[in-house]
Amino acid sequence: MDMSASKEELAKFGYLTRDEELNYLQEVSDICIRNTKKYSDSEEKVLNFLHPEELSTKIDISLRRESSNPDEMKSILEKVFKFSVHTMSPNFYQQLFYWGDCWGIGGQWVAEILNTSAYTYEMSPVFTIMEKEVIKEALKLWNFPSTGEGYICHGGAQSMLFALNVARNQYYPQVKTKGASSMPNVDIYTSEEGHYSLEKSASIIGIGSESIVPVETDDLGIMKMDALKAAISKTLANGRVPFYINATAGTTVTDAYDPINEIANLCEKHRIWLNIDGAFGGSLIFSNKHRHLLKGAHRANSVVWDFHKMLGAPLPCSVLLLRESGQLKAAQGISVGYLFAGKKHYDVDYDLGNLSIQCGRKIDNFKVWMAWKARGSNGFEAHVDKLYENAEYFLNKIKSRDDFRLVFPKAEPRLKICFWYLPPWLQKKTLNEEDKKYLNAVTHKIKEVYVYEGLLYLATQPLKKHPFFFRIVIIDPRKGPRELDRVISIFSDIGSKLKKEDFNV
């Protein structure tokens, strides 16, 4: 079964025989499974935190002229597990993603070992028809015309970039060949809590970050319609063109939903492109109970929606939807003789690579397809509904205690909840400026303790003029009251020991 090269020759290249390779991979899978089991235990550290210099002494990261053998490589993999963040831990609440489902992970293992690329049907027949199926079902779910199109992007930032680029090409097609100096000065609106990838996208595509108009938000992080209208008027008064509104469905820090339907009215009136950044919140589309937060979404020109965030598919896999076909190829395709054009033995409309700006492409669509196939739309619906139950549970707990305080007391249950822990000397009082300095320091101190001890992974955030606060992300439906209560005890165990005199503010 092995090819020409002898075992000795293979060793010169650092290769094993095929049988040895497969044995090694079998052992790697054992390492994966054993360690995942271990770190799924809530008593294990969510991270063994070390500073970079220290970490470098624990793993021999140096690259050399000499090769390493399978045993050395396996021992490195064990250490990689030990010193990485254990997203499979019940104590992981920090990011907008988590250790989600084995369907996607299994799919990725298969995609990795097949080592193919999703740019032509020829190279990835199975994955190509699956991607088309995902897009077809997603268009249905979002109530987009069936004549729409879509693409599975390598992450939400790529979807955001492509959406903006497609919009530009629809309004100013000459830019593709002539450059951005051939278009008028345009303004792009997004809430001041909107994701930074929009600013990066505007910079890179040559519109310039100053074209981004951050629109004021209310206390909960929702874009104010008055502010948006005023911003559009200002654009017009300045002789610029209102071009693109990015409505955020689930902001990064507070999980706020912009009023899409009202924004759509404005877009229609002024012929502005409407993009929905539903990277996080787009998944509510599955839930009858919570879909109302996306009201009006079917009127958008484009939607960005990540399966790797709220729904737990392995990251990254982002779905970009467009209400009309042909827009991706028009904006991003070119004629490439050796790849997409010329005579082929099949229908080249199945070659998806020319919809993108990438050539080689990881099989990210398979994760979405596998997760959706395995869990069904019903599974995703139950998932979303359970998350809101958990959020309500945690919110009520926090409200009922003197040692916790909500950053936004009027917040309804959302999947990110922002709060402070108040040590005894700050409880039951309105905080003055000095208190806020203490609170800031307390937040940093508590995080430092739980991170160094590996008890919990939960982010701290700045926002507007507030002292740094904690933000818990509630997206794993496997967790429930038991895990959420544990979070509260970890805080109170650490926090109740803090003394005012330990802080130098």
In angstroms, rounded to a whole number, what is the distance separating the alpha carbons of residues 380 and 332? 32
Residue closer to a copy of itself by CB (options 49, 503) is: 49
Smallest gap from Cβ 332 to a copy of itself, in A, equals 7
* Between 193 and 258, CB nearer to a copy of itself: 193
- Phi, psi angles (nearest 5°) of residue 203: -65, -50
Q: Which residues pair with 92 in a beta bridge?
A: 457
DSSP string, 373-423: HHHHHHHHHHHHHHHHHHHHHHHHHHHT-SSEEESSTTPPP-SEEEEEE--
Q: How far from 59 is each of 75, 82, 236, 292, 472, CA to CA, in Å?
A: 9, 10, 58, 50, 31
Residue 244 is which amino acid? Y
**Closer CB to a copy of itself, residue 46 or residue 294?**
46
- Token output for 410: 């009027």
From the list 37, 5, 30, 33, the residue with the least C-alpha distance to 18 is 5
| Interatomic CA distance for residues 281 and 249, integer angstroms | 5
Nearer to a copy of itself, 130 or 264 (CB): 130
Cβ closer to a copy of itself: 3 or 237? 3
Could you tell me if 457 and 46 are in contact, meaning their C-beta atoms sit under 8 angstroms apart? Answer: yes
- The whole-angstrom separation of Cα 199 and Cα 213 is 10
Smaller CB separation from a copy of itself, 84 or 238: 84
Asked if residues 246 and 135 have their Cβ atoms less than 8 Å apart, the reply is no
Q: Choose between 95 and 265: whose C-beta lies nearer to a copy of itself.
A: 95
Burial of 358 (0-12, 13-18, 19+ CB in 10 A): middle
